[in-house]
């Protein structure tokens, strides 16, 4: 076995001596740098926002016009919107018919769940951040 290994090693050594290392051409570096410069001169993608500034200006102008209209052309009556449309009274009537009776066990379990979630979220965030940092 050792004879075979020695023969193989001798054969490999002879082949390595017979084969010369390839040398790059004299102007190899110049050719590579010319190709790199040709790539760097290509058109660069410029940043273009998804929503142009003119749209933001139009939205801001419309908002200012709306605020100005509400301030200067408000209704002359003294009643508020909740009085005018009776919004609060409708919700009060709906809520009077509903009663919530929770057992103390349910309340303690909800409190325990809230505490556990508020503790575990920062711990898991710290764990994931440590795993993702290289």
Spatial separation of the C-alpha atoms in residues 112 and 101, rounded to whole Å? 19
Whether 87 contacts 81, CB under 8 Å? yes
Q: Which residue has tokens 């503790």? A: 119
The domain limits of the chain are: 102-134
Whether 44 contacts 50, CB under 8 Å? no
Give the pLDDT confidence of 36-82 residue by residue, as tens digits: 877 765 566 677 888 889 999 999 999 999 888 877 776 555 666 66
Q: Supply 87's token pair.
A: 């919004």
The DSSP secondary structure of 61-91, one letter per residue, reads: HHHHHHHHHHHHS--S----HHHHHTHHHHH
**How many residues are listed for the chain in this entry?**
134
Give the pLDDT confidence of 84-102 residue by residue, as tens digits: 666 666 566 666 667 777 8
pTM: 0.29
Q: Is the pLDDT of residue 117 over 90?
A: yes
């Amino acid at each position: 076995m050792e004879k075979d290994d020695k023969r193989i090693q001798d054969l490999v050594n002879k082949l390595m001596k017979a084969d010369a290392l390839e040398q790059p051409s004299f102007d190899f570096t110049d050719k590579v740098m010319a190709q790199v410069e040709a790539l760097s001169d290509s058109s660069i993608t410029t940043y273009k926002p998804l929503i142009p500034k003119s749209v933001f200006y139009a939205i801001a102008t419309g908002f200012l016009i709306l605020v100005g209209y509400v301030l200067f052309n408000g209704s002359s009556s003294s009643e508020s919107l909740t009085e005018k449309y009776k919004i609060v009274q409708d919700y009060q009537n709906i809520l009077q018919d509903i009663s919530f009776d929770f057992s103390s066990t349910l309340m303690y379990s909800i409190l325990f769940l809230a505490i556990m979630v508020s503790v575990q979220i920062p711990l898991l965030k710290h764990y994931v951040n440590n795993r993702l940092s290289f």
